[in-house]
Structure 1
Amino acid sequence: MTSIVFRTFGNISAITKQNQMNMEFEGCTAEDFLNKLIEKFGEDMKKILFPGGSLSDLIFILINGRNIEGLEGLETKIKDGDTVSVLPMTAGG
């Protein structure tokens, strides 16, 4: 069991009803964690994270502030005590 701090905002926090929470999940990868989010928060979370079956281009996943795209993607390892942020892309001007 891996224990982390989960942070988010925007449309994802509308689903979770919180911007930050402690979470535990089985496994040790970013993909394992995202699967836990879907298990815990349901179909709405799945539609945001994996529209069409693959990871959304409109989501950033950070492990301790580092984007998983520059690491090992969905296979990026997560350790106890890490902070995992799942952030929607935002636009403004």
Structure 2
Amino acid sequence: MRLLKLKIKFLKPFSDTVGKNMVEIDFNGNTLNDLLKVMIKSYPQLKKEFYTETKKLSTYLCIFINDKPLSALNGIHTKLQDGDELVFFVPVSGG
């Protein structure tokens, strides 16, 4: 596998969980699913925020890769590229 440089931005509540707003990592994997596994190893508390009790990706979790929502890509099977920027957040709405 090739080593990818990724920039990962965390908005609240994830920035509180990891203690940072942004990290840059060297990633040895191919897909978003691979990255999620690595992130959970580094920040185990993210597991309960990213996944439901039935081990499905939480519907509250929004992930953008290079300004494109995960729903417009190939889901957790989206292939990552060197230089990708990812944003993890929970959408907020109000009235």
Other structure's SS at 2:59 match: coil
Alignment size in residue pairs: 92
Q: Is the 8 A contact 2:65 2:87 kept in 1?
A: yes
Match for residue 22 of structure 1? 24
Compute the TM-score of the two structures, normalised by the length of structure 1: 0.90
Once the 2 structures are TM-superposed, how far is the Cα of residue 73 of structure 1 from its aligned partner? 0.5
Aligned CA RMSD, in angstroms, stands at: 1.2
Structure 2: runs of 5 or more not aligned: none
Once the 2 structures are TM-superposed, how far is the Cα of residue 64 of structure 1 from its aligned partner? 0.3
Match for residue 74 of structure 1? 76
**Separation in 1, partners of 2:71, 2:50:** 15
Other structure's SS at 1:51 match: coil
Where do 4+ consecutive residues of structure 1 move more than 2 Å?
A: none
Structure with greater helix share of residues: 1
Match for residue 66 of structure 2? 64
Q: Is the 8 A contact 1:25 1:32 kept in 2?
A: no
**How many percent of aligned residue pairs carry the same amino acid?**
26
Compute the TM-score of the two structures, normalised by the length of structure 2: 0.89
Other structure's SS at 2:79 match: coil
Comparing 21-30 with 77-86, greater Cα deviation is found at 21-30
Structure 1: runs of 5 or more not aligned: none
Match for residue 8 of structure 2? 6
Match for residue 46 of structure 1? 47
